Structure 1
Amino acid sequence: MREKPTPGLLPTPATFINAQSAITGLRGRDLFSTLRSVAAHGLRHPVRSARHVLALGGQLGRVLLGETLHTPNPKDNRFADPTWRLNPFYRRSLQAYLSWQKQVKSWIDESGMSDDDRARAHFVFALLNDAVSPSNTLLNPLAIKELFNSGGNSLVRGLSHLFDDLMHNNGLPSQVTKHAFEIGKTVATTAGSVVFRNELLELMQYKPMSEKQYAKPLLIVPPQINKYYIFDLSPGNSFVQYALKNGLQVFVVSWRNPDVRHREWGLSSYVEALEEALNVCRAITGARDVNLMGACAGGLTIAALQGHLQAKRQLRRVSSASYLVSLLDSQIDSPATLFADEQTLEAAKRHSYQRGVLEGRDMAKIFAWMRPNDLIWNYWVNNYLLGKEPPAFDILYWNSDNTRLPAAFHGDLLDFFKHNPLTHPGGLEVCGTPIDLQKVNVDSFSVAGINDHITPWDAVYRSTLLLGGDRRFVLSNSGHIQSILNPPSNPKSNYIENPKLSGDPRAWYYDGTHVEGSWWPRWLSWIQERSGTQRETLMALGNQNYPPMEAAPGTYVRVR
């Protein structure tokens, strides 16, 4: 079913923390500085502040008398239990909390602070308001019920979970029961072999799952920030198996998890290693050119590789490029980027160079604060207040399987967000060659997510416009990960498409067509047109020069 997107319902780009924040980090001193600025502003304008205090006092008085002044967001599951509406005590506590939230927002909106200062203040107070929610205490009606139902055992289990997370999970609530999964047995199970290995990556070739296969292979490049098996979780949502069953020859890069010995690996190091893998794919399959697919930072890497090949006049080795939630235009407008000043960027660089790597757990902490109600306080309630185990969910297991970034690559990413180099020819130099994406005349297919807080969809759209060649862009109805993991079996899947790319993402959206279902089949027909002729399937993996070394998922993916 196809229909036009509803006018007035333009999806909002990410509001708070995003990919730049995760790479740069947020310093506590910057957050406290914002609080001091807000407090100082309130003292300098006592009349305005007093007016809002009195307004809040008036609302709290009406709340104590039993009035219901505010309705919580129906999508806010924190207050879904009917006790919050029916019990007089809980109804009043919820109404007091909502009154405080709305009055603080009104006070900031009506203050005389600059736009940037207001944005920073909204950001900090949103984090504080989420933290002080009455649902985060032992008075949460769900916690009270569980306490009585378990005879007090829920409190004992919750304290045990809290202690375990303080010791082993960087102080954050665990999001998944990790012992429920094992790499190679319950996730990353598709049959294949490592056919090439260098210092930075392993290249895996997968066994065919179709009677015929296309001549040109697909090389999937995951982000260096995560393990590759987001493309091969369980069979029901494995992108690798979907491609194999539809006749594609599939190769996947598995990046090595670096340590302090690899601090000098930068973007050029990754591009050189990926070029080696590209040539191995060509040698094994006999294909002149290869289809590339990159996700998140993997998209940046394949774009840099193509720019490097173009500068060497060897771009003919690439047949097409698919970009999944990838930023090439790094301009992101959000309150969190207002904290990323020169001093913060230099401090982040210095920190990673001193340690040799940027720890994955540090990035995970920032990512969790992107959506604190979903990724922190939800598990705070479940794990500690209710004393329950976190769910056994394969995506969350993959998400918690952190990797590190070498200091040099971390520095390259910081410079990428600081200078936005790919928006002008020669702004980025890789492997000694200047990059000009407009000259990369390779057909491309880009996917973004409406609810993506990490790589906002409008920035991904602008990234598509930087590329040469025939460009396609689709907007999935999901977030960062679910936009990638979007199999046809998902009944909630839908996306927006519009073959005419205008300079304004809003115009593209309003002129677009709403399509029910997953974008995977649309991409499949697109990639098959660019994969050459079909032939009888060759079941053997590797060749004489690149024989199978060990079974997938290989060695590098297991390195912690």
Structure 2
Amino acid sequence: MRDKPAKGSMPTPANFINAQSAITGLRGRDLLSTLRSVAAHGLRNPIHSARHALRLGSQLGRVLLGETLHPTNPNDQRFADPTWQLNPFYSRSLQAYLSWQKQVCSWIDESDMNPDDRARAHFAFALLNDAVSPSNTLLNPLALKELFNSGGSSLVRGISHMVDDLLHNDGLPRQTTPHAFEVGKSLATTPGAVVFRNEMLELIQYKSMSEKQYAKPLLIVPPQINKFYIFDLSPSNSFVQYALKNGLQVFIISWRNPDVRHREWGLSSYVEATEEAMNVCRAITGAREVNLMGACAGGMTIAALQGHLQAKRQLRRVASATYLVSLLDSQIDSPATLFIDEQTLEAAKRRSYQKGILDGRDLARVFAWMRPNDLIWTYFINNYLLGKEPPAFDILYWNNDCTRLPAALHGDLLDFFKHNPLTHPGGLEVCGTPIDLQKVTVDSFSVAGINDHITPWDAVYRSTLLLGGERRFVLSNSGHVQSILNPPNNPKANYVESPKLSSDPRAWYYDAKHVDGSWWTPWLSWIQERSGAQHETLMTLGNANYPPQEAAPGTYVRVR
């Protein structure tokens, strides 16, 4: 165990991307409007603009003379090649780019625009600055080396990749090789069977991998936005196998990928379906209680389900609840949310209701443009300038295996971000019952990601405080997905934890301890204590009322 973190090491939640931005969407005209208002501000304040133009000119003159004014970020892989530092032409072009970048930020910071307008300006210019990086041209030293080494074939391959992406990938560079994996063969291979199916979901029960098993089963509820097999990618990082090998009975929901026929499926529909799946788990295992685990939007689903059960006085059916990177408190402060107003929300609702769905590719496109260096320009360089195939990476394959959201659920999520209903009793009504999370007295274990761009860790922390019962919060290393997929064999795994949950995330963090290792290990001890007695393992799946229908991973996961 490490010492408590230094006060200067307080992690800062992501500035730009978040779940609200992706659900709402970011319109190009909003960015253009920001750029127009910035330009108008510059014209109205010519002295301010001239002062910074002169500063930039002075810096560019010093750059031409060979001075190094701005150090590069060692974590910025765009300029990792030594040529950017050693070659006079490249070092000057890099320093000119950094000077422009720094001066634009300084111009915005020192302007008399209001704070919200300054934040919007920083966001818009960050996208622009990333786009005009000198690394995104054929003069990139890596591209030139590949061009000469390949005899020009890298350029031909790059153009071929670009044309293919324009025709078949909405114009964005691919993040992974599309045929590198196959669900059921190279991914999601843990033995199991579909033991229940309805219009909305398939319920998969997995074969046990231990001599004894605990009485109370674990039901995993994945987000409706992604497919379930993030919990079962490969044997080395399969959360499902980890739980099975340690005596847990594991069930998981595989949501159907909806189409226009399912436009009326809302949050209440998903809560009812989850309750039905939970009752099937109880019927198959003979247990009175079920341990619930929800990830991202799945966490909101199980919270709403527990509130619904509490209102019906049936909460005793839930033994515990685990929330993975889940928002229950939807207040997120970032520049991207400043583009979201009443008109934007209503326009987003209207678009999805007209189509019947929100296409997962639209979500992916917003996510990509909110982190362009990581999700666009890296692959632009690799695929087009270097002419290489994108890497075969299982997490990226899963991330690009997009699903759709029914219009009604999309509308419910928009209202969730607009009204933040779970922060006050009765603010959210599900299945005809008002929800009060403080009355949900089930023990809970919450996990956040320290570098999470989608559900910032401080918002997940505040979400934990909304729950009643005994609460435990763990801050895992890495981001939204890899903070979950963080097995004990990961040498970089670590987490932060403090048993005392204060009202302020910062105060909690300063009192917390860094622990080497994966959060899977303490969670396992925690869940085993709440899983009842152990008994001899039953190798059969399902029962007479719910017989196995087909082998895992089932049918719904394959629907595109």
The structural deviation recorded for 1:3 is: 1.9
**Aligned counterpart, 1:106:** 106
The structural deviation recorded for 1:424 is: 0.2
> Residues 391-430 of structure 1: CA distance to partner in whole angstroms, max 9, x if unpaired?
0000000000000000000000000000000000000000
Residues of 2 paired with 1:404 and 1:337: CA distance? 22
Residues of 2 paired with 1:288 and 1:550: CA distance? 26
**Aligned counterpart, 1:339:** 339
SS in 2 for 1:320: strand
SS in 1 for 2:483: helix
Q: State the one-letter code of the partner of 1:460.
A: V
For 1:126-141, list aligned pairs within 5 A.
126-141=126-141
**Aligned counterpart, 1:432:** 432
Identity %: 85
The structural deviation recorded for 1:355 is: 0.3
**Aligned counterpart, 1:11:** 11
For 1:216-227, list aligned pairs within 5 A.
216-227=216-227
Residues of 1 paired with 2:310 and 2:262: CA distance? 28
For the 8 Å contact 1:382–1:389, the answer to whether it is kept is yes
The structural deviation recorded for 1:34 is: 0.3
The structural deviation recorded for 1:532 is: 0.3
Q: State the one-letter code of the partner of 1:508.
A: W
Residues of 2 paired with 1:516 and 1:477: CA distance? 10
Residues of 1 paired with 2:170 and 2:492: CA distance? 34
The structural deviation recorded for 1:369 is: 2.0
> Residues 6-48 of structure 1: CA distance to partner in whole angstroms, max 9, x if unpaired?
2211000110021000000001110000001101111111001
- Could you list the structure 1 runs, at least 4 aligned residues long, displaced by more than 6 angstroms after superposition: none
Q: State the one-letter code of the partner of 2:465.
A: L
**Aligned counterpart, 2:228:** 228
The structural deviation recorded for 1:2 is: 2.9
For 1:23-38, list aligned pairs within 5 A.
23-38=23-38
**Aligned counterpart, 1:242:** 242
**Aligned counterpart, 1:470:** 470
For 1:22-421, list aligned pairs within 5 A.
22-421=22-421
Residues of 2 paired with 1:14 and 1:302: CA distance? 26
SS in 2 for 1:220: strand
Q: State the one-letter code of the partner of 2:449.
A: G
The structural deviation recorded for 1:170 is: 1.2
SS in 2 for 1:483: coil
The structural deviation recorded for 1:371 is: 1.7
- Give the TM-score, by structure 1 length: 1.00
Residues of 1 paired with 2:34 and 2:375: CA distance? 24
Q: State the one-letter code of the partner of 2:370.
A: M
For the 8 Å contact 1:370–1:453, the answer to whether it is kept is no
Residues of 1 paired with 2:202 and 2:422: CA distance? 28
SS in 2 for 1:14: coil
Residues of 1 paired with 2:236 and 2:5: CA distance? 29
Residues of 2 paired with 1:241 and 1:167: CA distance? 39
For the 8 Å contact 1:201–1:255, the answer to whether it is kept is yes
For the 8 Å contact 1:212–1:247, the answer to whether it is kept is yes
**Aligned counterpart, 2:500:** 500
Residues of 1 paired with 2:475 and 2:457: CA distance? 7
SS in 1 for 2:535: strand
**Aligned counterpart, 2:20:** 20
**Aligned counterpart, 2:2:** 2
Residues of 2 paired with 1:369 and 1:306: CA distance? 36
- Give the TM-score, by structure 2 length: 1.00
SS in 1 for 2:173: coil
Q: State the one-letter code of the partner of 2:536.
A: E
Residues of 2 paired with 1:206 and 1:367: CA distance? 33
**Cα RMSD after superposing both structures:** 0.5
Residues of 2 paired with 1:529 and 1:381: CA distance? 50
SS in 1 for 2:12: coil
Q: How many residues align?
A: 560
Residues of 2 paired with 1:6 and 1:538: CA distance? 49
> Residues 259-313 of structure 1: CA distance to partner in whole angstroms, max 9, x if unpaired?
0000000000000011000000000000000000000000000000000000000
For the 8 Å contact 1:541–1:547, the answer to whether it is kept is yes
The structural deviation recorded for 1:370 is: 2.7
SS in 1 for 2:370: coil
Residues of 2 paired with 1:262 and 1:340: CA distance? 27
For the 8 Å contact 1:267–1:301, the answer to whether it is kept is yes
Q: State the one-letter code of the partner of 1:524.
A: L
For the 8 Å contact 1:16–1:336, the answer to whether it is kept is yes
SS in 2 for 1:531: coil
> Residues 150-200 of structure 1: CA distance to partner in whole angstroms, max 9, x if unpaired?
000000000000011111111111000121100000000000000001110
For the 8 Å contact 1:217–1:281, the answer to whether it is kept is yes
Residues of 2 paired with 1:166 and 1:104: CA distance? 32
Residues of 1 paired with 2:172 and 2:332: CA distance? 27
SS in 2 for 1:147: helix
Q: State the one-letter code of the partner of 2:339.
A: F
Q: State the one-letter code of the partner of 2:115.
A: D
SS in 2 for 1:3: coil
> Residues 488-538 of structure 1: CA distance to partner in whole angstroms, max 9, x if unpaired?
000001000001000000000000000001000010000000000011001
Q: State the one-letter code of the partner of 1:491.
A: P
Q: State the one-letter code of the partner of 2:351.
A: H
SS in 2 for 1:527: helix
Residues of 1 paired with 2:457 and 2:226: CA distance? 20
> Residues 344-367 of structure 1: CA distance to partner in whole angstroms, max 9, x if unpaired?
000000000000000000000111
> Residues 451-492 of structure 1: CA distance to partner in whole angstroms, max 9, x if unpaired?
000000000000000000000000011100001100000000
Residue 449 (structure 2) pairs with residue 458 (structure 1):
no
